[in-house]
Amino acid sequence: MCTNDEEQDKLIRALRNQGRFQEGWLSHQILGFNYRMTDLAASIGLTQLRKIDEILLKRRRVALKYTTLLKERLNHKVALPKFSEERSWFAYVIQTNNRDEASLKLKKDGIETRNYFPSIHLQPPYKKLGYREGLCPVSENASKKALALPFYTSMTESEIEYVVDRLAEALNHDH
Domain coordinates of the chain in residue numbers?
6-36, 51-174
**What's the confidence (pLDDT) of residue 23?**
65
- Residues whose CB is less than 8 angstroms from the CB of residue 132 and which lie 6 or more positions away in sequence, other chains included: 122
Question: Is the whole model's pTM more than 0.85, yes or no?
Answer: no
- Give 25-75 pLDDT, tens digit per residue: 677 778 888 877 899 999 999 999 999 999 999 999 999 999 999 999 998
Answer whether residue 108 shows pLDDT above 80: yes
Say if residues 174 and 119 touch (Cβ distance below 8 Å).
no
Percentage with pLDDT > 70 across the chain: 95
Of residues 102, 110, 89, the one with CA closest to residue 145: 102
The CATH-assigned architecture of domain 51-174 is Alpha-Beta Complex (3.90)
Q: Rg of the chain over CA atoms, in angstroms?
A: 22
Tell me how far CA of residue 96 lies from CA of 102, 120, 146, in angstroms: 9, 20, 7
* CA angle centred on 76, ends 73 and 100, rounded to 5°: 90
Average pLDDT value over all residues in the chain: 91
d(CA 95, CA 143) in angstroms, rounded, equals: 9
Kind and range of the H or E element at 44?
Answer: helix 39-50
pLDDT of residue 1: 56
pLDDT of 144-158, one tens digit each?
Answer: 999 999 999 999 999
Q: What is the pLDDT of residues 20-36, one digit of tens each?
A: 887 666 777 788 888 77
